[in-house]
Amino acid sequence: MQLKPRGFLLLEVLVALLLAAMALLALAGSQGRAVRAVRSGQQAGQALVLAQDLAERLRTQPALAVQEGSPYELLLGWSAQQASLPPVAGACDGPAAACTPEAFARADFAQWRSLLARSLPGAAAYVDADPAHGVVQLWVAWREPPLAVDELAGAEGECPAGLGVDAASGVRCVFLKVRP
C-alpha cells in the first residue's frame, strides 16, 4: 500500500509567500505613482484656474493690461518671488476711496498674487505685457515634489527663460496668452 502525500512541502510554501510578497510590493509601488499623478493633476488644474482668474482680471482693464510697464506685469525670477510677496494694497478700500485705475490694478494684482500664494504654496507667476501685439503672456509656475530621481525634470521649455528655472528643477508651468 502506497501512502499519498498530504499537505505542502515547506519549500512550496516559501515560494508561494515570496510570490505573494512581490505582488504586494508591485501593487504598493503602482499605488504610490497613482497618488503622485493625481496630486500633479490637481496642482496643474489649480494653476490653470489661477491663470484663468488673472486673465479675467486683465480683461477688466484692457488698456492698462497691455501697456509698457503695466501694473500687472511681473518679470521677477523664481527665487526673487519666493523671497517676497507684496502686501495687498488698501488704497482702493472703502466707498470713499479715491482710486485711480492704476491703483486699482496694483491692488487687484497684489490680491491675485496673495491668492496664488495661498492656493499653490511656493508658486510663482511670470506676466509679460506685449503692447506691440496687444497681448499679455502669463505663466503660473509651481514645484512638484519629486519622490524619485527620474521624476525631477519638468517638461523642457514649458517655463519662460526669465523665470530662471531649468527643466531639472521640478518646476512646472501653465501658459496662457491673453488678448484683453
> Quick one: average pLDDT of 141-162?
67
What is the phi/psi pair of residue 45, to 5°? Answer: -65, -45
Q: What is the pLDDT of residue 178?
A: 94
What is the phi/psi pair of residue 120, to 5°? Answer: -130, 85
What are the residue ranges spanned by the domains of the chain?
A: 11-178
pLDDT surpassing 60 at residue 151: no
Q: What is the pLDDT of residue 62?
A: 93
Closest CA to 143 of 166, 177, 111, 109: 166
pLDDT surpassing 70 at residue 25: yes
> Quick one: average pLDDT of 35-58?
91
Q: What is the pLDDT of residue 152?
A: 45
pLDDT surpassing 80 at residue 146: no
> Quick one: average pLDDT of 130-156?
75
Q: What are 57-86's pLDDT values in tens digits?
A: 999 999 999 999 999 999 988 888 887 766
Closest CA to 75 of 104, 44, 109, 122: 109
Average pLDDT, the chain: 83
Percent of the chain with pLDDT over 90: 37
Identify the band that residue 148 occupies on the pLDDT scale cut at 50, 70 and 90: very low
Identify the band that residue 13 occupies on the pLDDT scale cut at 50, 70 and 90: confident
**Region at 148 (left for phi over 0; alpha for psi -120 to 50; beta for the rest):** beta
| pTM for the structure as a whole | 0.77
